[in-house]
Amino acid sequence: MSQYRRSYVPGGTVFLTLVTYYRTPLFSEPENISRLRTAVAKTRTEKPFEITAGVILPNHIHFLWTLPSDDLDYSQRVSRLKVLFTRLLRGKKSLPQNVSASRRKHRESNVWQRRFWEHTIRDEIDLARHLDYIHYNPVKHGLVSCPHLWEYSSFHRWVKKGGYQADWACSCCGKKPQVPDFAEMVFGE
């Protein structure tokens, strides 16, 4: 069995990607986005963290979470978020019959992929690259032509804070967009 090693830094900021089971577009339905927001809010009351940035796409979510200075356990928060959302979606005791024996043994539903992807933010440049990645993701996936057109993103909050111009990577403002280079943003290549 593979050994997964995650980086845990007290008070750290972590980039997370959570994907739905078989990339089912659960978040194409507004009521599921509402359920997700409820699950996130409940998770935050139980184990506080700051949502630095985020985007909800039809079949996956990207977050930047910043943990309290004395805490490093984002895995527990992700797990709790997944459980709460699944309960809101399926009901408290509902485990579908059409999932594999392994998933049933681990009490996993057909809502989320088993694991999640994480990256601990190293510095301000790394943070900026991941913010850009999150905010450009709806455009990258062909869901909208410009970041400001995607409703389920922290982009609008960052524009209000002065972190982005409203026309960042925009193709509808009449000028050629400055499209971010994702390899450079994420991997520093």
Catalytic residues: 152
Q: How far is CA 21 from CA 99, 111, 137, 170, in A?
A: 11, 5, 19, 32
Q: Rounded to whole angstroms, how far apart are CA atoms 188 and 183?
A: 7
Cα dihedral: 151, 143, 32, 167 (round 10): -10
Amino acid at 186: V
Let me know the angle formed at the C-alpha of 86 by 60 and 136, rounded to the nearest 5 degrees.
15
Q: Rounded to whole angstroms, how far apart are CA atoms 116 and 16?
A: 7
| 3-state SS assignment for residue 113 | coil
Helix (H) / strand (E) containing 139: helix 124-140
Q: Rounded to whole angstroms, how far apart are CA atoms 89 and 86?
A: 5
